[in-house]
Amino acid sequence: MHSSDIARRHAFAQEIAREAGAIARRYFDAGDSIRTTEKGVHDLVTQADLDIDRFLIEQLRQAFPDDGILTEESGGGAATRLWVIDPIDGTTNFARRVPHFAVSIAFHAEGRTESGVVYNPIRDEMFAARRGFGAACNGRPMRVRQTRDATDALVDAGYSLKRPVADYVALVGRLLEGGFSFVQNGSAAIGLAQVACGRIDAYCELFLHSWDVLAGLLLVEEAGGWVSDFTAGGGLLHGNAVLAGTPAIREPLERILPPEITGRG
């Protein structure tokens, strides 16, 4: 795919992410008017999710009619050129008016993610990365932290209902026994963006869908970090475990975490 075609999509993704964020902000500021529906246990969708999903799909179909689209709310399928979208990552936070959520847009072409955008409308932070061109927040280059010791490292340990509660408890236990500190903030997209910009040192979760993480994983890569092979074994369409962080703590993390998340046999 020609570099100029990717550049055009990367710029467009940032434009529509900002517009989508404005929709989310209007709902968020309205407070009690946020209506929620349960898709499953602790799995919410709001009218804002649906409105933003519809807006993004319309914009992308008009601009790039030959590209495929995969979203959390509308589904989709495989395509050589595929937009992977989460209209609001961190819906539970959003529904409770916790200001920790984001619009996530990734462009995946010919087997790899070429563009990733994560926009937090509350902080007005536009995290963006294009493969081979680095990562930035509001235009300022980002680099991961240079933390070298587990006892200085902060890990965002995401919780997935796709895995037994006991597995999450065991994951957190391994982190604490390994000397790491952890948080759980409820948005994988923002968690990965915060790894990329050096606020935290790693992100891990036992199961996520591609719309949650593709954009954020590219942010970490382009900011000098390392990431697990999320798309291995059909992860693009079916989901996978996630591990990403600053390089110096890779070995201690992989040593203590289960093979399911490290990818090591």
Q: Is the pLDDT confidence value at 67 over 50?
A: yes
Query: Do 116 and 226 lie in a common domain?
Result: no
Q: Are 160 and 168 in contact (CB under 8 A)?
A: yes
Question: Which residues have a Cβ under 8 Å from the Cβ of 239 and sit 6 or more positions away?
Answer: 162, 207, 208, 209, 210
Q: Tell me the residue range of the domain where 84 lies.
A: 3-141
CATH of the domain at 7: 3.30.540.10
Q: Is the pLDDT confidence value at 173 over 90?
A: yes
- Per-residue confidence (pLDDT) for residue 47, from 0 to 100: 87
What global pTM score does this model have? 0.93
Last residue of a domain, one of 114, 141, 168: 141
Q: Is the pLDDT confidence value at 234 over 90?
A: no
- Per-residue confidence (pLDDT) for residue 62, from 0 to 100: 98
Query: Do 156 and 137 lie in a common domain?
Result: no
Model confidence pLDDT, tens digit, residues 11-63:
999 999 999 999 999 999 987 555 655 554 444 678 899 999 999 999 999 99
Quote the tokens at residue 33: 């008017």
Q: Is the pLDDT confidence value at 233 over 90?
A: no
Last residue of a domain, one of 79, 111, 141: 141
Query: Do 173 and 81 lie in a common domain?
Result: no
CATH of the domain at 195: 3.40.190.80
Percent of all residues in the chain with a pLDDT value above 90, rounded to a whole number: 77
Mean pLDDT score, 7-11: 98
The number of domains in the chain is 2
Query: Do 134 and 30 lie in a common domain?
Result: yes
